[in-house]
Amino acid sequence: MKLIEGRTRELKEKMSPSFLKTVSAFANDEGGEIFFGVTDHGEPKGVVEVDKTRLRIENMVNDSITPRPEYEFRQTQIDGVTLLVLLIHPGQQTPYLYKGIAYQRKDTADAPVDYHQLQQLVLRGAQLKYEEMKTKSDQLSFKYLENYLTRVTGVSGITDDMLRTLYLKNAQNDFNLAAEIFADTNSFRKRGVDVMVFGQTINQIRFRKEIARRSVLEQFDQAVELFHRYYGFEEVEGLARVQKHRIPVEAYRESLANALVHRDWSLDRHVQIEMHESHVRITSPGGLPADLTEEDYLTRTISSLRNPIIANIFFRLKLIEQFGTGIQKIRNAYQGSNHKPLFEIFDNNLRLTLPEIAENTVELTFKEISLLDYMKINQPYSRSEIEQMVDLDKSAAVRVLNKLIQAGRVTRLGKGPNTQYVRELK
């Protein structure tokens, strides 16, 4: 039986100090297991002196990793040989350091964390969130927030008690970073919204506006105003002139609010909004929170809040609804449309593309929708690759592809045996 290395599994034929980097990486993340007595190719060779090896590993971990991580040992028999497994539990007192350096797991390798990742580990170990940290400024004004509260809730005037109720001040009467984010002005030069309006190509920038160093609520309002300016139009219905949008305004507002609420505010990067003629693309700094999987994010009404103070105020101001329902609300805005929003998840950012509404004149089957889910935007596939994706024979694959081409969801490239198919952004 061959074992395979992975994000949470390391193989070691012999014991050397390098395994301590892996201990640091596992403790700083979701945990993992180190198999001793297995080659890099996954072949079990066994550990001869198990008790002696276990004692040596235990001493090395206790003496070299700070603070001491939680771990346990177990023995297992594979192919007639004994392996020793060191199981590292996810750490609660991060960062865990080896020789003064915190490590992270990248696929099957261990690498030092960067400054931002170290900062996140420190906050996690202190059971703090970035927004809860004390701000350097003790002179903050909240006129923009006050106007919002008056308009939405009827409450006028912001007192110290109200600031504490909103968790913008702590028990010692100090402002936190969330307070600075909502203040009329702040020191975050590169943590605003960068809006770019493009022409027919990405080389044609018609307009650009950087909205920074002001209340996150003003950032939201200005970005919405620009959306109305470039995607809104009036249509005459009977005797009335009705305001409409080429892209669902409710989907854009929800997407923008989510980007501002859930972004990683410790990163010196703007929320980027690209306004193209056929779509809007919103990129939010920071990947998914550590305790939220891609499946949870896309398919379930689960919301792991990176910034609960910010999220709570947006909720009170009715800028977002129930936590965890944003993705479904965005999808609902495209019911009946042939074009659908595209959600993309990367290690360091989240990206959402909102296309123009297009009337759905071709109803798709489950197989056709499944194929679209598998195909990546702008990546060509051969017919044989497509057959394997959704388990279709040749004739069925041809029927499905022709239907998707008719619906404008897939484009055919080339002819004969070199024919390839590309999913369109719709």
The stretch 351-375 carries a mean pLDDT of 79
Q: Per mean pLDDT, which range of 53-67, 103-117, 228-242, 263-277 is the poorest?
A: 228-242
Residue 314 has pLDDT above 80, yes or no: yes
Q: What is the pLDDT of residues 7-21, one digit of tens each?
A: 999 999 999 999 999
Q: 88-130, pLDDT tens digit by residue?
A: 999 999 999 999 999 999 989 999 999 888 988 998 898 889 9
Under the banding of pLDDT at 50, 70 and 90, the label for residue 301 is: low
Percent of the chain with pLDDT over 90: 62
Average of per-residue pLDDT across 226-236: 86
Residue 298 has pLDDT above 90, yes or no: no
Evaluate the omega torsion of the peptide bond into residue 95 and state whether it is cis, within 30 degrees of 0. Answer: yes
- The domain limits of the chain are 9-125, 129-361, 366-423
Segments in 210-303 forming alpha helices (H): 216-231, 249-262, 294-299
Indicate whether 426 pLDDT > 60: no
Q: Which of 184, 122, 191, 125 is nearest to 158 (CA)?
A: 184
Class of domain 366-423: mainly alpha
| pLDDT tier at 292, thresholds 50, 70, 90 | confident
Written as six digits, the tokens of 131 are 């927004």
Q: Residue 300 has what pLDDT?
A: 65
Binning pLDDT at 50, 70 and 90, where does residue 321 land?
confident
Q: Which fold has domain 9-125?
A: 3.30.950
Fold of 129-361: Heat Shock Protein 90 (3.30.565)
**pTM given for the model:** 0.71
Q: What pLDDT shows up at residue 3?
A: 93
In the chain, % of residues over pLDDT 70: 96
Torsion of CA 116, 122, 128, 130, to 10 degrees: -20
pLDDT-based confidence at 322, cuts 50/70/90?
A: low
What local confidence, expressed as pLDDT, does residue 266 receive?
93
d(CA 407, CA 231): 24
